[in-house]
Amino acid sequence: MKPPVFLLTVGLLGLWSCAEKPKSATGDVELISYVDLTEKSSLQKGAKNYKPTMTDVVSEIRYIPLETTQESLIGNVSHVEVDSGLYFISDQTQSKLLVFDSEGHFLNTIGRVGRGPGEYIYLYSYYLDRSRKEVGVLDNYERKTLIYNYEGKHLRDVEYPEEIFFPRASFYSPDGVVLFHHPIPDGRDLKSEYEDQLLRENDGKYDFVGNILKYRFKNPPGYGGISGLDRSFSYSNERLLLTSHFSNMIYTIRGDTIVPVYQVDTPKKLAEASFFNANEDKGYSELMMAMMRDQNPFSGITNIIETPQYLYLELEYMTTGLWDKRSKTGVRFGWLYEEGIDAFISLTPLTSDGDRLIAFNQAFDFLNQREAIEQGENDRLKELLRGLTENSNPVISVYTLKTNAVESVIEAMKE
């Protein structure tokens, strides 16, 4: 029997809008190129002969079951940040932000729903100020960000400027710039101006640093701005990275400026500005369908996570790009086979912690593979399984990448 496809994730970083930065930016842009092995890795080959395997990429996997109590129960993981051995996990279904330690023990919540001091009406998003060990929780109804310390003590409020309208995500750069993101409403056409903001906290309010404008396709892609339709954000390896769907550029924030840092080499063409100009009256979903039908371009980078050594990229058709920043080599491949659970998987990390990728799995992902785990030789999985029930909280999966992961995958595919 062919092993099941086991997607090791409870959520992605999401799809985000394109952008154009009004301020010009310069900087060295590094080309990311890959040995493309996606054609050699196929689910049709069967598990016994399938390559690459998890052990070709990862040197160690650690499973951390999150403590399950009435107070710490998680319905759905919405966003994850890691700092100082602490996991900050938001659950938008319950409007809760929970803090767990490195062993999965529940420590505290950050704020709570209410209308009193230090309370928010609904938790839309949060960000970490790692230098001051503070958490900012966005309360769009009260038009303010509530600032707490890591233990959950309310410290102060920061008021939104009048121009801010219901941001749905937020990120904090090491330079002290806060990015407020607004998703694309599907009914809005491409001619609408809808902005993300770069802000800086100042005495109980935010000062504007600049706007990131969306839907500006008439200008060709350039280093002065971010082009494409969707955008993904990732804070990892002590910096914020931004990528654009249907673009091959990767950016970061330095000071008050967005600058390009990487360009992904792709054999497929990029979406052309002329196509967007000709279809600017279409809604978002309609435009996406037309693009894939008529253009068939490189569909971009849907997830990016950085470690000190690697860039982990999720590319089109659920393929993975792994690029070694030290050796300047990369490989692109499909699914991984994990013998311990007899399943094909995709890592799909949500963030990183040092040289480790951090992903989340529902308890039933492991419970559904009970037979394969019990018959296998992975004692860690067997121990994990004994402590799980259908009502257990999600499990943190910590993947330590091999120092020679790129070379290891290439060698494995030669066999």
pLDDT digits (tens, 9 = 90+) for 175-209: 888 988 876 554 444 444 556 788 999 999 999 88
pLDDT digits (tens, 9 = 90+) for 91-119: 988 999 999 999 999 999 999 999 999 99
| Least confident range of 101-110, 135-144, 184-193, 357-366 | 184-193
* Rounded distance between C-alpha atoms, residue 295 and residue 312, angstroms: 26
Q: Are 29 and 262 in contact (CB under 8 A)?
A: yes
Percentage of the residues of the chain whose pLDDT score is greater than 90: 47
Model confidence at 55, pLDDT cuts 50, 70, 90, reads very high
According to the model, what pLDDT value does residue 182 have? 72
According to the model, what pLDDT value does residue 244 have? 66
Burial of 350 (0-12, 13-18, 19+ CB in 10 A): buried
According to the model, what pLDDT value does residue 297 have? 63
- Residues 398-411 have a mean pLDDT of 95
What are the C-alpha distances in Å from 191 to residues 23, 58, 212, 223, 292? 21, 45, 15, 22, 20
SS3 of residue 49 by DSSP: helix
Q: Give the residue from 244, 314, 260, 354 showing the smallest Cα distance to 19.
A: 244
| Least confident range of 22-26, 102-106, 131-135, 246-250 | 22-26
Segment (H or E) for 412: helix 405-414
Q: Give the residue from 282, 302, 315, 47 showing the smallest Cα distance to 188.
A: 282
Segment (H or E) for 16: none
Model confidence at 325, pLDDT cuts 50, 70, 90, reads very high
SS3 of residue 113 by DSSP: strand
What is the CATH T-level fold of the domain 5-414, as seen in this structure?
Neuraminidase (2.120.10)
Strands 79-83 and 86-91, bridge-based pairing: antiparallel
Domain ranges of the chain: 5-414
* Rounded distance between C-alpha atoms, residue 344 and residue 399, angstroms: 16
Q: Give the residue from 165, 103, 99, 169 showing the smallest Cα distance to 138.
A: 169
